[in-house]
Structures are given as structure tokens and as C-alpha cells.
Amino acid sequence: MITDSFNRTHTYLRISLTDNCNLRCFYCMPEEEYEFSAASKLMQVDEIIALAKIFVAEGVNKIRLTGGEPLVRKDADKIILALSQLPVSLTLTTNATRLHHFVDVLKEANVQSLNISLDTLQPDKFLLLTRRNQFKEVFDNIQLMLQNNFHVKINVVVMKGLNDMEINDFIEWTKDTPVHVRFIEFMPFSGNKWTSNKVFTWQQILEVVESKYTVTRLQDDQHDTAKKYTVPGHKGTFAVISTMSAPFCEGCNRMRLTADGKMKNCLFSKEETDLLTALRNGENVLPLIQQSISSKAKELGGQFTNDFEHLHAEEIHNRSMITIGG
């Protein structure tokens, strides 16, 4: 078991397959001229599987693939199929632009649930937020996944003045469509133009929804990052991921592996542990994993608290989101 000094057992690994992406969401990947990592720096298929097996032998039972955009990687299908042989629940977070190429692979790998990012239901705003004109592909692929009976969660990063006015449009979407919308509070990462006054909090989101709908709270699962709700009669549900105003670190069971093979014990950790180099040198990787987890901070990487209104983004030492893997 991979247990930290606060007695939290870590059973969930997020693996980033690449820091490359075909969209340019400004809150994730700030500069247009950002240089993606060379392929040789990234974990290769056999290295991903070898590292995943070490984690699984220590009790990991859930793996999420992420990025960058995991599905722009040319060997994404091979990785998905190989990981599906492990005794884990396998899932992924994707921008959905390329999902239509992966329906059969995902079915074969027994992937049942997908997190899809979509911050707006307006094509012109999609272009503004992602700097790419691909709203139609994303929306069509969400329908395609629903038709193929995948459980679809929609990640919406809510930013004040940008898309907070669309919250109830997303709720309306859940009326006849079985999508599970998750509103995410805007988080600070290296160079992503975060300021505290752009955060639209859990409380504010609920106020907006409750101004129009009757809302029922749903039971949260043990390690849930999301506070879940439903509007009675709607086919879908909604939830809020309140990282900034009400962090959920107490029940954290998550670890991350960046595409270049560095372990992060928290999304906001300053420290990284280089597992890939150790693996390539034939060293024993497990003690490094255990060391990393034993130094995990109690909350938010030890870098800030829920008093985010006084936080300045430049005080936080971290990578940009696209190089971590959300």
C-alpha cells in the first residue's frame, strides 16, 4: 500500500501521456509558442506499463489517462489496450476532438466512463477559449459517446465574466441528456493568467443554479473531488469541484505521473520524483514512490490554503497544467 504520513492510502494514479495538445485553452497552456517535449523525453509504451505495474502491485486500482491531450499521441490505442490488461478501472480525460477514432478501442479496453472538457456551449466562445474552431467535433463526439453508452462527465472550468453566465445553460442540457456536468473552480498554474477575482466559487455556482432550479444533493463517494447534485426530473446530474474555496485534500487518494515520467504526489506539489530515469537506469523504483508519498503535504501541495482571495499566482511554484496532467 502507498500510504502517506496523514494515513491516506493512494489507490488512484493519473498518467499523462503527452504534454502535446491540439487545443490551446489559455488557462492550461498559456503561450502559443509553447514547445512540446521531444518524443524521446516521454515515457514509451513499455515504460508506462512497467511503471503502472509497480503502482498496481502496491494497491492502485484506478488509472486515468490524461495530458495534454492523451488522444493526440500516435500510440494512444496501444497504451489503452495494454493498460486494460491490468486489474484496474481505466478511464481518461479528453478534449473529445479525436474520440471518434477511439470508440472501438475504448470498448475493447472496457473503458466505461469518460471525462470530457467543454467550457462553453457557444461555438464562438469555444474558439475564444481554446483558440481552435472545433466546437462541432467536440459536441458531436459527446453525442457519439452517449449513443455508445459511455458514462460521460463534462468538465467545465468556470471563470468569472467568461462563462459563469452559461451555468444554467449547462444545467438545462442535463434535462434531456444524461451528461454529468462538473463545474470546476479556476485554479492557478504557472503562467495561466489566474487572479483570485476570476474564481467563481462553489457557493456562487449553487446560487446561480438555485435561482432557477430546485436542487437535490447526491451522496458523495469516499474519495470524491466533486460535490454532486441533481435537479429532480433531469436525466443528467451536476457537481462542483471546489478546489479553491473548499479543498477536498482530507480524502485524497491521487498520485500523478507526468508524461516525462516524474511523479507528483499532489497537483500542486513543488517537488517531483524522477521515476523514468530510475527505471531506465535499472534502479528499484518503489522506494522512490514511497519517499515521494511520505513527503506529501497535508493540503494543496503545502503551497496555499482556501484563503485564495489573498493568493498571488506567482507565489506558487508548479508546472503549467498541460505539463502536469489534470
* Binding positions for ligand SAM, rule: CB under 6 A: 21, 27-28, 66-67, 69, 93-95, 117, 155, 157, 184, 186-187, 189, 192, 321-322, 326
Residue with cell 506558487: 316
Rounded distance between C-alpha atoms, residue 121 and residue 125, angstroms: 8
Contact assessment for residue 71 and residue 22, using Cβ atoms and an 8 Å cutoff: no
247 binds ligand SF4 (CB under 6 A): no
What are the residues facing 202 on neighbouring strands?
Answer: none
Q: Residue 289 binds which one of ligand SF4, ligand SAM, none, with CB within 5 to 8 A depending on kind?
A: none
Local structure of 119: helix, strand or coil: coil
Q: Decide whether 58 or 323 has the Cβ nearer to ligand SAM.
A: 323
User: Given the rule CB under 6 A, which of 66-74, 75-83, 178-186, 259-267 is the region that contacts ligand SF4?
Assistant: 66-74
Q: Decide whether 156 or 208 has the Cβ nearer to ligand SAM.
A: 156
- Give Dmax over CA atoms of the chain in angstroms: 59
Q: Residue 186 binds which one of ligand SF4, ligand SAM, none, with CB within 5 to 8 A depending on kind?
A: ligand SAM
CA 27 to chain centre: 13
Residue nearest to ligand SAM (CB): 326
Binding to ligand SF4, residues 75-104 (CB under 6 A): 95
Q: Residue 245 binds which one of ligand SAM, ligand SF4, none, with CB within 5 to 8 A depending on kind?
A: none
Q: Residue 192 binds which one of ligand SAM, ligand SF4, none, with CB within 5 to 8 A depending on kind?
A: ligand SAM
Q: Are strands 254-257 and 262-264 parallel, antiparallel or unpaired?
A: antiparallel
Q: Decide whether 67 or 261 has the Cβ nearer to ligand SF4.
A: 67
- When binding is defined by CB under 6 A, the residue of 13, 15, 17, 28 that contacts ligand SF4 is 28
Q: Are strands 237-241 and 226-230 parallel, antiparallel or unpaired?
A: antiparallel
120 binds ligand SF4 (CB under 6 A): no
Q: Are strands 216-217 and 226-230 parallel, antiparallel or unpaired?
A: antiparallel
User: Given the rule CB under 6 A, which of 65-73, 146-154, 287-295, 309-317 is the region that contacts ligand SF4?
Assistant: 65-73
119 binds ligand SF4 (CB under 6 A): no
Rounded distance between C-alpha atoms, residue 69 and residue 71, angstroms: 6
Which residues lie below 8 Å from residue 2, measured CB to CB, with a gap of 6+?
A: 9, 10, 11, 55, 58, 59, 60, 255, 289, 290, 293
The DSSP-derived string for 237-285 is EEEEE-TTTS--GGG--EEEE-TTSEEESSTT-S--EEHHHHHHTT---
Q: How far is the CB of 95 from ligand SAM (least distance, A)?
A: 4
21 binds ligand SF4 (CB under 6 A): yes
58 binds ligand SF4 (CB under 6 A): no
Contact assessment for residue 218 and residue 210, using Cβ atoms and an 8 Å cutoff: no
Q: Residue 187 binds which one of ligand SF4, ligand SAM, none, with CB within 5 to 8 A depending on kind?
A: ligand SAM
Residues that bind ligand SF4 (CB under 6 A): 21, 23-25, 28-29, 67-69, 95, 117, 322
